[in-house]
């Protein structure tokens, strides 16, 4: 191979190298087959950089126009699937730049003035992630709305509230759904926070130390919408930090992990509730699968997979944190490994949120404007299960306290009453008044109101409690918040 051929074939960056990269090393070091999905961010960042170079007189107006023209062509080619991505050109940045130069000549070669791939890639990841965070924010709103819809329909449905998965106290199924709305609303807050710190500009840091060209970084930040709520440009203030840290990606994955953990808790409940021994709910057939051997089976594959995929996202968080640990300043190629875990986290989370919104709340029927096919609630089964575990025992204790007994004494008396009911194989509310009075003579006929599931539910009127009046207050609050 002649020296000239060697340069063409193996090196996108310099004539310094005396031997070509082996195919294995090329494959090992290249990232184009996964980072090409950031192409839009790469072009957006390049256009903002070029605009500023022109405004600062670092490149001429003609070169700027050529870069714009070339990038428009590249955009069209990528969108129509006519762009040829080359492994030899290593990554999305070099692929696009090389094509630009092919299209517009020297102007393309001037684009990289005052810039390095180090600040370029950091900018691209931030821009890409910012738009994904915005989508995730919308999906979280959709999911919360689905849950609020189900909550509203089931405010008066009683299910056993568990602690230790043992029947504890009656709760409203609507209240139970709203517990998840709280979790997902905090998740949304976390993503908004992460977005704020992601939305800062590394460009201008160049390779690591800044650059000698008179760049206007704040102008680029404004062009790219990297501004705070008052419109002030947000620029990374230390060049070494700008090119090297990926804490925003770690923070994002951490927020995604928590969201998936919340999803996994819900999944676990859906799976339990669907089992024949509970039969609390049904999910639509399109979210279940059959068994190849047992003809009667309908398996909750979607929640099971979501529970499993949570592990995958937790793994990505571990991967990214470990990637960053111990890296000396500034940029190291290790950071190329940030993309696959980040991309997979985004894909997994978005798909999961979409599918859960629909599985819980149903799908909009355009003909009727009504959502159909969400979860089906079996209210009698839930209520029946609540009657099984002495769920109103605390209410009996509270009843005695209101009659003047210290709580600890009341607690002890009720334990005896539960023991008696167990030996009669009946609920507390089924014990005759005379029997109840043996435990304490202050017990009167009105005790049956507080021993009923509905009486117990209605009594829990504290802010954030399960009484239907409170649940309605919360539904109204969420409706305003999510509108
Ligand atoms: N593909 C690289 C990455 O993802 C781009 C930056 C490469 N910089 C370098 N100096 N090799 O991090």
Instruction: Please tell me if the CB atom of residue 198 comes closer than 6 angstroms to any atom of ligand 1.
Output: no
d(CA 12, CA 86): 11
CA dist 266 and 481 (Å) reads 22
Site of tokens 């072009």: 43
* Residue 298: per-residue pLDDT: 84
pLDDT at 3: 47
Q: Return the ligand 1 atom nearest residue 338 CA.
A: 4
Which residue, judged by its Cα, is nearest atom 11 of ligand 1?
A: 333
Is 226 touching ligand 1 by the criterion CB < 6 Å? no
Pick the closest to residue 472 from 482, 459, 456, 461 (CA basis).
Answer: 461
**Could you give the residue range(s) of every CATH 1.10.275.10 domain in the chain?**
3-113
Please give the pLDDT value at position 224: 98
Dist. CA 337–CA 125, nearest whole Å: 12
Residue to substitute in 119, 336, 337 for testing ligand 1 pocket (most ligand atoms within 8 angstroms of CB): 336
Q: Is there an atom of ligand 1 within 6 Å of 346 CB? A: no
Specify the domain boundaries for CATH 1.20.200.10 within the chain.
119-150+160-372
Cβ of 117 less than 6 Å from ligand 1: yes
Distance CA 211, CA 53 (A): 13
Which atom of ligand 1 sits closest to the CA of residue 125? 4
The response to whether residue 222 sits with its C-beta less than 6 Å from ligand 1 reads: no
Segment (H or E) for 365: strand 363-365
Q: Does residue 14's CB lie within 6 angstroms of at least one atom of ligand 1?
A: no
Q: What is the dihedral of CA 78, 79, 82, 84, to 10 degrees?
A: 20
Dihedral, 396, 398, 404, 407 alpha carbons, nearest 10? 100
Q: Rounded CA gap, 401 and 408, in Å?
A: 9
Cα of 278 to ligand 1 centre, how many Å? 53
Q: How far is the CA of 91 from the centre of ligand 1 (A)?
A: 8
Q: Whose CA is closest to 204, among 248, 242, 246?
A: 242
Question: Would the CB of 123 count as within 6 Å of ligand 1?
Answer: no
Report the alpha-carbon distance of residue 446 to residue 437 in Å, rounded. Answer: 12
Digits of tens for pLDDT over the chain (483 positions)?
444 544 454 455 678 888 888 999 999 999 999 999 999 999 999 999 999 999 999 999 999 999 999 999 999 999 999 999 999 999 999 999 999 999 999 999 999 999 999 999 999 999 999 999 999 999 999 999 999 999 999 999 999 999 999 999 999 999 999 999 999 999 999 999 999 999 999 999 999 999 999 999 999 999 999 999 999 999 999 999 999 999 999 999 999 999 999 999 999 999 999 999 999 999 999 998 888 878 788 899 999 999 999 999 999 999 999 999 999 999 999 999 999 999 999 999 999 999 999 999 999 999 999 899 999 999 999 999 999 889 999 999 999 999 999 999 999 999 999 999 999 999 999 999 999 999 999 999 999 998 999 999 999 999 999 999 999 999 999 999 999
Residues linked to residue 282 through DSSP beta bridges, in sequence order: 376
If you take atom 3 of ligand 1, which residue's CA is the nearest one? Answer: 336
* H or E element, residue 172: strand 166-172
125 lines ligand 1 (CB under 6 A): no
Distance between CA atoms of residues 52 and 211, nearest Å: 14
CA-based R_g, the chain, Å: 31
Question: Are 203 and 118 within 8 A, CB to CB?
Answer: no
Helix (H, G, I), strand (E, B) or coil at 270: helix
90 CA → ligand 1 middle, Å: 9
* Most ligand 1 atoms within 8 A of CB, residue of 33, 93, 117 to mutate: 117
Residues noted as catalytic:
164, 291
Q: Where in the chain is the domain with CATH 1.10.40.30?
A: 389-482
Strands (E), 205-289: 281-282
Atom nearest to 207 CA in ligand 1: 10
Longest dimension (CA), the chain: 106
Which class does domain 119-150+160-372 fall in?
Answer: mainly alpha
Query: Quick one: which H or E segment has residue 282?
Result: strand 281-282
Residues 300-322, buried b or exposed e (16+ Cβ, 10 A)?
A: bebbeebbebbeebbebbebbee
Q: Give me the pLDDT at residue 117, please.
A: 98
Cα(92) to centroid(ligand 1), Å: 10
Fold of domain 3-113: Fumarase C; Chain B, domain 1 (1.10.275)
Using the mean position of ligand 1's atoms as its centre, give its distance from the Cα of residue 260 in Å: 30
Question: Is ligand 1 within 6 A of the CB of residue 53?
Answer: no
Among the four given CATH numbers 1.10.3080.10, 3.30.360.10, 1.10.40.30, 1.10.760.10, the one describing domain 389-482: 1.10.40.30
Long-range Cβ pairs for the range 1-7 (8 Å, 24+): none
């Amino acid at each position: 191979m002649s020296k000239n051929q060697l340069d063409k074939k193996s090196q996108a960056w310099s004539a310094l190298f005396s031997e070509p990269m082996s195919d294995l090393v090329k494959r090992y070091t290249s990232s184009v087959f996964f980072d090409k999905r950031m192409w839009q961010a790469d072009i957006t960042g390049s256009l903002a950089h070029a605009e500023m170079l022109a405004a600062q007189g670092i490149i001429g107006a003609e070169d700027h126009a050529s870069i714009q023209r070339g990038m428009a062509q590249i955009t069209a080619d990528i969108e129509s699937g006519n762009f040829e991505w080359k492994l030899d050109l290593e990554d999305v940045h070099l692929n696009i730049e090389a094509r630009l130069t092919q299209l517009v000549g020297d102007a393309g070669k001037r684009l990289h003035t005052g810039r390095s791939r180090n600040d370029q890639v950091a900018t691209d990841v931030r821009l890409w992630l910012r738009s994904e965070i915005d989508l995730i924010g919308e999906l979280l709103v959709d999911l919360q709305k689905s849950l609020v819809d189900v909550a509203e329909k089931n405010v008066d449905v009683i299910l056993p509230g568990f602690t230790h998965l043992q029947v504890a106290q009656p709760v409203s199924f609507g209240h139970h759904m709203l517990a998840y709305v709280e979790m997902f609303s905090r998740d949304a807050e976390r993503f908004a926070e992460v977005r704020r710190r992601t939305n800062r500009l590394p460009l201008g840091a160049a390779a690591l130390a800044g650059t000698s060209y008179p760049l206007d970084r704040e102008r680029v930040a404004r062009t790219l919408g990297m501004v705070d709520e008052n419109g002030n440009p947000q620029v990374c203030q230390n060049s070494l930090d700008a090119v090297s840290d990926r804490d925003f990606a770690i923070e994002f994955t951490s927020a995604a992990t928590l969201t998936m953990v919340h999803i996994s808790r819900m999944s676990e409940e859906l799976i339990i509730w669907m089992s024949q021994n509970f039969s609390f709910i049904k999910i639509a057939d399109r979210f279940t699968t059959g068994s190849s051997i047992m003809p009667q089976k309908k398996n909750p594959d979607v929640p099971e997979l979501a529970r499993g995929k949570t592990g995958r996202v937790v793994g990505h968080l571990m991967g990214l944190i470990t990637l960053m640990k111990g890296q000396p300043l500034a940029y190291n190629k290790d950071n190329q490994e940030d993309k696959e875990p980040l991309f997979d986290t985004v894909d997994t989370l978005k798909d999961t949120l979409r599918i859960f919104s629909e599985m819980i709340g149903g799908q909009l029927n355009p003909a009727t404007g009504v959502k159909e096919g969400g979860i089906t609630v079996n209210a009698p089964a839930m209520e029946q299960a609540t009657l099984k575990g002495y769920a109103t025992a605390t209410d009996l204790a509270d009843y005695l306290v209101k009659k003047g007994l210290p709580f600890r004494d009341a607690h002890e008396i009720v334990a005896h009453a539960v023991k008696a009911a167990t030996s009669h194989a009946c609920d507390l509310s089924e014990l005759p008044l005379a029997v109840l009075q043996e435990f304490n003579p202050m017990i009167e006929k009105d005790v049956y109101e507080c021993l009923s599931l509905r009486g117990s539910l209605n009594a829990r009127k504290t802010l954030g409690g399960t009484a239907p009046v409170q649940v309605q207050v919360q539904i109204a609050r969420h409706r305003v918040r999510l509108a």
